[in-house]
Structure 1
Amino acid sequence: MDRHGDTGTEEGRPAPGRGSPRLPDIIRWQEQHFGRPLAWDCSKVLRRAGRCLFLDLGEWRECLGRTGCPPRAPQSGSRHVTEHHRIPSHCAARRLAALVLCGTILSPAFAPPLVHADEATAADGTIRKQQTNGEQRQKRQRQEKRKKSASPLEEIVVLGARVPQPLRRAPSAISVIDQDWIAARGVTQVSLLLRDVPGVEVSRTGPFGSQTQVRIRGSEGNHTLVLLDGIEMNDPVSGFELDFADLMTSGISRIEVLRGPQSALYGSEALGGVIDILTRLPQAPRDFALNAEGGSFGTFRIDGFAGLAGERTRAGLSAAFFRTDGVSASPSGPEKDGYRNAMVNGKLVSRPSERLEVGLVARYVDARSEFDRQDFFSGLVLDANNVRRFTGFYGRGYARLSLLGGRWTHLVAADFTDTDTDNFANGDFSGSFSGGRQKLTWQTSLRFETGPAQQRLTAALEYEHFDFRAKGPSPDSPQNQKQNDRQVSLVGEYHADLGERLDIGLGVRHDDNRTFRNDTTWRTAASWSVSEAIILHASYGTGNADPTFFERFGFFPGSFVGNPEVRPERGRGFDAGLRIAPTEGFYLDVTGFRSTLKNEIATVFDFATFTSTVENRQGKSKRRGVEVSLSWWPLFDLRLLGSYTYLKAREADGAIEVRRPTHIASLGGSWFFAGGRGDANLDIGYHGRQRDFDFSAFPAPRVPLSAYWLASAALRYRLAGPLWLTARVENLFDSRYQDVLGFNTPGIGVFGGLTARY
């Protein structure tokens, strides 16, 4: 990413944020690198550029370097650029057109690094930089991005193993949403970005701020483990499930999605997959950004970032405020359901010595959402004055020690999660749920070699303590209670790189839970490099999901009673796929998967008490499908991302599972224009037909929900200096759709704002 963290692009593409080269600088730089200023001979440059447009960087230089204008003799004394900028009047217009062509379409290859006031021109014509300009840092970043763009399989991913590894070595199905794509989309909620990931389905019960579930490969929402810089964000209260309505994109630099059962590596809640979110750190000694935006539905957003970086320490602080009047969740009601979210995130990473790294992460969220009620008898969503207030604090401190030249590493970490949800009806307090998770981790990893094989052994010990507190509207309310649980886990992992082609991984985990029967999960995976561009990968694993506090002890008077006897869910899954990266800038992954789930926990209605509860279903539910992921640079300044998912999910009795569309697809593109001054993004998603429960009848039948298209567009353009203009359109086609039967969703929305980056 570039110095601003949210505006970078793939190496070789124009990087916005620094301005365009000046005309004299382009001429001088071209003369130094090619023996003459290429822009002089306008007609030949234009003809040659047309032939060279789709060649790589080295071929461009060779091709355009043959342009015929003879070099000019150096001027005596100081070589001021103005002496070379004497263009005959009869050719001025044509040569200006040639210069514009070189400076826009071919600027990354034939334009100089940008010159600032803190740079000086030496007598020999070279640009000498002072210590404060950061140009050397930007050059190194571009070189690193160029290398990554040329070899996408070498990108380092955090997920897939207990220790980060290149994507080439990751035998599991992993997708990455990088900083460039997050910035180009410009959306406010992480759930909107996850719609572009294969195997992921997003369901939102109404407008902004409504409950938002994310399912991976047809699993339940509480089978998706969400990590924030290693902190488990899953709410200990609401079904060990994260409500993605409160997760904003501000301050986020990267998202990784690991699909398939991963309990052997990450424990309960990772039965369907894992989403890992990394927050932002500064990429320059001083890194600042401020963004303000407003638009449809009475929406306003302001967020900022401030970061400082030294030789051994980097620290960043992100803050954001978002509010919207929204729309009514009821299709027939005029009352709007608004939402407000305030967030602060801090991150510090320091290396006191070459062998020791320490870090701190803290995030605080305060959200308020208005929501409507669903009538018990008619099943209709009706206007209501209901309010949910959510606060969450997430913290982590860690220390990592490297010994034996980095071959032997030790990690000690302490994580803390605390959430509180208060509910109000017509202004009166109606109840609250709060909970906490405290986690201690020790991990050691040793790398060693035996002949041509490079191997790694990892062992970990984890301790977790959970708290659950429920409070009713009065001191003697029947739902008032406190519960707790604890678990100790042992984790072991083995990874081997056999001869640069075959990678295998084995993982096992044993959970000692105070409440449930102890459980052991395991996972095996392998990848085989057929060639530098083709990799086969496969994995098989088991997983578990413990019943939540709410499922065991939850209580709503006259509505729901928990079941303390419910048992953990068990599952297993297999996937196999193919990764292809035949050329620079092209990456394709096709993966097939199959999974089963037994002891599935489901809600049932008790006619004797006229209340709901939960119980374990008999038999196994089955899911299978295919995922396709595409990343491609078809042109020098055009990036495309695509995905497709086919899913067939059936319950144990053969019924189609609700809110699991058979087909999901997306295609998005970012185009960088005006020599890096701006970029435009268009994203189109298809959400296929699915089924949902119709609660207007009893027992509730499964009815179809229509397929829909959802598109968005975004534009960023640098006006002057550090000031950028931003604009975006959500629901570009003004689609009328429902993710959950009966709940209204917003129509087309237009938003605009300004961003300043320093």
Structure 2
Amino acid sequence: MISNRRLAAMPLLTLVSLLAAAPARAEDDAGDPKGPIVVTGRGLREGPATPAYDVQTIARDKLASSASGRIEDVLASVAGFQQFRRADSRASNPSNQGVTLRALGGNASSRAQVLLDGVPVANPFFGYIPLSALAPDRLGSVRVTRGGGMGAFGAGAVSGTIEMESAGPDQIGPIQGSALVDDRGETQGALTLAPRLGEGFVVASVQWDRGQGFWTTPKDQRVAASARAAYESLSGSLRAVAPLSDTVEVQASGLVYDDQRTLRFKGADSTSSGQQGSLRFVGRGDWQFDVLGFVQAQDFSNIVISSTSYKKTLDQKKTPTLAVGGKAELRPPVGEAHVLRLGADLKVSSGHLVELPYSAVTGLATAFRRAGGKQSDLGLYVEDDWTLGQFVVTAGARADRWTIRDGFYRELSASGAVNSDTRFADRDGWSGNARGGIVWNIAPALSLRAAAYSGLRLPTLNELYRPFVVFPVTTQANADLKPERLRGYEAGVDFHPSEALSVSVTAFDNRLKDAVANVTLSSTIRERQNVDAIRARGVEASADLKLGSVDLSGSLSWTDAKVEASGTQVALNGLRPAQVPKLAASGTASWAPRDGWRLAATVRRTGAQFEDDLETDVLPAATTLDLFAQVPVTRFVLLVLRGENLTNETIVTRNQGGSIDLGAPRTLWAGIKVGLR
């Protein structure tokens, strides 16, 4: 991984030199100053037709005031957001951290595209999101668009897109630090420096979380080998932004992280780590452009402990993955009524696993396995937003050239004999997708909108080539999986009679054809297969009311999601997809009487859902209450108090035949935050 760290650091070193040479302001040919340069550190502004789609934005004050301090907790306030399992990133296997929207779940891969400053962050092999590395305190805003994606890196956004923008000095201040401890003795510490350098700035941040964890195993199911969900995660980011002229800026970013967890049994340890670097040029002149390049290196390991002998049965020693890619988008000057986007993006990834199965009786390795492959996606897209009086119309098209190649599975016996050596056929194809929408601004306070879209997601290398075990069930891979394809429609109303009140309601109908699901073949065997489709129809609503220093906000998602299946899968027809609740709702009341003060309470309800595709094992509904308090002690020091799941609700995160895992119990945090403004 050393070479990958060097690759991630190269853009940052380049920008440091640019910052040192950056002029304080641009001058014209006569030497007269043109005026101050404005450096944003963001991409190009969204188009006027963005409201045609179901969009929700999370502002920084809400990002920085979650009870757990974790990004998945923040995103849970968005109607329709869902992880594969209910557990957060302290007590879940990293490979389960797939995120999706619109009740299109059913397995652990992400069906939503997650971007950090324009860069896709999902692990290319598994499709999971490194949630513990995405610290909310580093972010300025998050925009969630539900429904089929378009634009850069649109392949994979079949349920929507989650766009995270990093915070700058104006939001963070020159220095910010925090240190907290909870009632189990677990700690969370962070430090961020954000100095301005000339007309640019640098933001350097580090966060370290560690703890003994809580008991995920119910008391009546614990044995001598049971263990708390211990965790330790460390992440660091470095970001620099500088002007190259009065209209062009360069942005460089780097992110490194390492995460270690223990789940359920002693020795059942997992690790995930990664490094990524990106370099971005944004032009805001008459010919606007956004050019981005990135490189990522990630790894994953996992040890499986038998729930009967409590010995190691599988050692997934490593899963190194490398991805490189980028995008180039141009917005030519086509008149004030139009915003035209022309672009291309590319992502190339490769990865393989190395694992050793062990005998639960002898404790000796029984085989040596390797599996993996390569994928690529080249996308070309065009989209135009056209303002016609009270109407804003948008239409776009995207063409993707995808490849799946060099897939293999090889197994050697303990003596070195070849048990299996399979090379899978290469595949490739073109896929065309489109989306369009209209916004009718009936009055300043009222808008109606409608949209239709399609999308594409390739099966991950994990789904294609890697089997896995959650005892006693083995889930087989399937190298013949077809890409998933989405068709969707939605209509909504946005009501905002004043700056104090906004209400949004959306009805949608999405159908994911050839959806990849973990299909039960027997009591101990499942296989990843394409079902005919997952059909999700429902309503999403959100509201926000500001009454002086009081802010009331809420969201609700009600979805009727069903599997469409036939042939050998007919038993699944009409059933709800695994891990998908019908109802999810949250509400937050906050009070910020003056600068630095914030008190907030969040109630969240997640409906019942099923562990498996046959609706055999139920995960009961759960309602939780979280509290957050921030009170100034001095000009530069704030007292922070946080409470997770204050009612100590029992949250079942896994249920396989009565073998249960639990989510976070009541947890109380206290600490300080120090900052200069």
TM-score computed with the length of structure 2 as normaliser: 0.80
Tell me whether 1:657 sits opposite 2:577 in the alignment: yes
Judged with a 3 Å threshold, the aligned counterparts in structure 2 of structure 1 residues 174 and 370 are, in CA distance, closer, same or farther, namely: same
Is the counterpart of residue 503 in structure 1 residue 382 in structure 2? no
| Aligned-partner Cα distance in 1 for 2:575–2:138 | 42
2:654 aligned with 1:715, yes or no? no
- Amino acid paired to 2:112: T
Amino acid at match of 1:165: E
> Which secondary structure does the structure 2 equivalent of 1:448 belong to?
coil
Percent identity of the aligned residues? 18
Q: Are 2:508 and 1:593 aligned?
A: yes
Contact 1:265 1:509 in 2 (8 A): no
State whether residues 591 and 627 of structure 1, in contact with CA within 8 Å, keep that contact through their aligned partners in structure 2: yes
- Whether the 8 Å CA contact 1:237–1:550 is kept in 2: the answer is yes
In the alignment, which residue of structure 2 is the partner of 1:546?
458
Is residue 670 of structure 1 aligned with residue 559 of structure 2? Answer: no
Equivalent residue number for residue 234 of structure 2: 342
Query: Which one of 323, 332, 356 corresponds to residue 437 of structure 1?
Result: 323
Corresponding residue for 1:646?
A: 558
Are 1:495 and 1:505, in contact at CA under 8 Å, matched by a contact in 2?
Answer: yes
Matching residue's letter, 2:540:
E
> 1:203 offset after TM fit, Å?
4.8
- CA offset digits 1:667-715 (Å, max 9, x no partner): 1011123x44522111111112333339xxxxx5434432221111111
Give SS of 1:283's match. Answer: helix
Shift of 1:200: 1.6
- The answer to whether 1:623 aligns with 2:543 is no
Q: Structure 1 residues 521 and 169, CA, compared in 2 at 3 Å: closer, same or farther?
A: closer
Which of these residues, 604, 627, 641, is aligned with residue 685 of structure 1? 604
Tell me what 2:201 maps to.
Answer: 314
Q: Look up the SS of the partner of 1:517 in the other structure.
A: strand
Residues 528-567 of structure 1 aligned to structure 2 (within 5 Å):
528-555=440-467, 559-567=474-482
One-letter identity of the residue aligned with 2:644: E
* Contact preservation (8 Å) 1:265, 1:508: no
**Cα gap change, 1:196 to 1:349, in 2 (>3 Å):** same
1:493 pairs with one of 369, 377, 383: 383
Q: Within 2, Cα distance between the matches of 1:625 and 1:408?
A: 41
Contact kept, 8 Å, 1:213 with 1:243, in 2: the verdict is no
Residues 1:520 and 2:432 are matched in the alignment: yes
**What is the aligned counterpart of 2:60 among 179, 184, 187?**
179
1:570–1:599 CA contact under 8 A, matched in 2:
yes
Give the C-alpha shift of residue 245 in structure 1: 5.2
Unaligned runs of 5+ in 1: 1-155, 373-382, 695-699
Q: Is the 8 Å Cα contact of residues 224 and 241 (structure 1) preserved in structure 2?
A: no
2-structure distance, mates of 1:730, 1:496 = 46
Structure 1 contact 445–456 (Cα < 8 Å) conserved: yes
1:216 corresponds to: 101
Change (3 A) 1:530 1:502: same
1:236 matched to which residue of 2? 124
The residue identity in structure 1 corresponding to 2:605 is: Y
Query: What per-residue deviation string (whole Å, max 9, x for no partner) do you get for residues 403-446 of structure 1?
Result: xxx23112221012221002235689543212121112221111
Alignment-derived partner of residue 70 in structure 2: 189
Give the whole-Å Cα distance in 1 for the aligned partners of 2:647 and 2:172. 43
Write out aligned runs for 1:96-135 (5 A): none
Are 2:259 and 1:387 equivalent residues in the alignment?
A: no
CA contact (8 A) 1:252 1:277 kept: yes
Assess if the C-alpha contact under 8 Å between 2:316 and 2:353 holds in 1: no
Whole-Å Cα distance in 1 between the matches of residues 457 and 318 of structure 2?
Answer: 24
Give the Å deviation of 1:603: 2.5
Aligned with residue 466 of structure 1, among 339, 342, 349: 349
Distance across 1 between alignment mates of 2:121 and 2:112: 11
Residue 417 in structure 1 maps to residue 296 in structure 2: yes
Deviation string for 1:219-268 (max 9, x for gaps)? Answer: 12521111111110111111x23253554324122111110111465332
* In 1: Cα distance, 2:157 partner to 2:519 partner: 25
Tell me the distance in 1 between the aligned counterparts of 2:377 and 2:153.
13
2:592 pairs with 1:705:
no
Structure 2 segments unaligned to the other structure (5+ residues)? 1-39, 305-310, 358-364, 404-426, 565-572
> Secondary structure at 2:61's aligned position in 1?
helix
Distance 1:169 1:595 in 2: 19
Q: Output the aligned Cα RMSD.
A: 2.7
Output the CA distance in 2 between the equivalents of 1:519 and 1:346. 37
- The 2-side partners of 1:647 and 1:605 are apart by 24
Question: Which amino acid in the other structure matches residue 576 of structure 2?
Answer: I
- Rounded to whole Å, the distance in 1 between the matches of 2:608 and 2:171 is 47
Q: Note the C-alpha offset of 1:182.
A: 1.7
Partner secondary structure for residue 366 of structure 1? strand
Q: Name the CA distance, whole Å, in 2 between partners of 1:647 and 1:430.
A: 37
Query: 1:298, 1:326 within 8 Å by CA — same for their partners in 2?
Result: no
Q: Is the 8 A contact 1:191 1:214 kept in 2?
A: no
The SS at the match of 1:196 is coil
1:273 corresponds in structure 2 to 160
Deviations 1:100-153 (A, max 9, x none): xxxxxxxxxxxxxxxxxxxxxxxxxxxxxxxxxxxxxxxxxxxxxxxxxxxxxx
SS of the aligned residue for 1:579 comes to strand
Change (3 A) 1:650 1:612: closer
In structure 2, how many angstroms separate the alpha carbons of the residues matched to 1:492 and 1:216?
25
Aligned-pair CA distance for 1:473: 3.8
Secondary structure in 2 aligned to 1:447?
A: coil
Aligned-residue offset at 1:562 = 2.6
* Distance in 2, Cα, partners of 1:434 & 1:562: 18
Pair 1:204–1:339, CA change in 2 (3 A): farther
2:476/2:525 contact within 8 Å kept? yes
Q: 1:677 to 1:401 in 2, by over 3 A?
A: closer
| Contact 1:203–1:740, Cα closer than 8 Å, also in 2 | no
Counterpart for residue 408 of structure 1: 287
More helix by share: 1
- Cα distance, 1:311 vs. partner? 4.8
What CA distance in whole angstroms lies between the structure 2 residues aligned with 1:693 and 1:482?
26
Q: Which amino acid aligns with 1:493?
A: E
Quote how far apart the aligned CAs of 1:356 are: 1.6
- Mapped contact 1:251–1:319 kept (Cα < 8 A): no
Matched, 1:744 2:662: yes
> For this pair of structures, how many residues does the alignment match?
573
Instruction: Tell me whether 1:248 sits opposite 2:135 in the alignment.
Output: yes
Give the 3 Å change call, closer, same or farther, for CA 677–400 of structure 1 in structure 2: closer
Q: Indicate the structure (1 or 2) with the bigger Cα radius of gyration.
A: 1
1:578 aligns with 2:493: yes
Shift of 1:320: 0.4
Q: Decide whether aligned partners of structure 1 residues 343 and 724 sit closer, same or farther in structure 2, where only a CA change above 3 A counts.
A: same
CA contact (8 A) 1:691 1:705 kept: yes
**Alpha-carbon distance between aligned partners in 1 of 2:59 and 2:271, rounded to the nearest angstrom:** 31
Whole-Å Cα distance in 1 between the matches of residues 158 and 377 of structure 2?
17
- Structure with the largest fraction of strand: 2
Separation in 1, partners of 2:248, 2:142: 26
Cα–Cα, structure 1 residues 164 and 477, in superposed 2: closer, same or farther, change >3 Å? Answer: farther
Deviates more, 1:478-487 or 1:176-185: 478-487
- State the one-letter code of the partner of 1:441: K
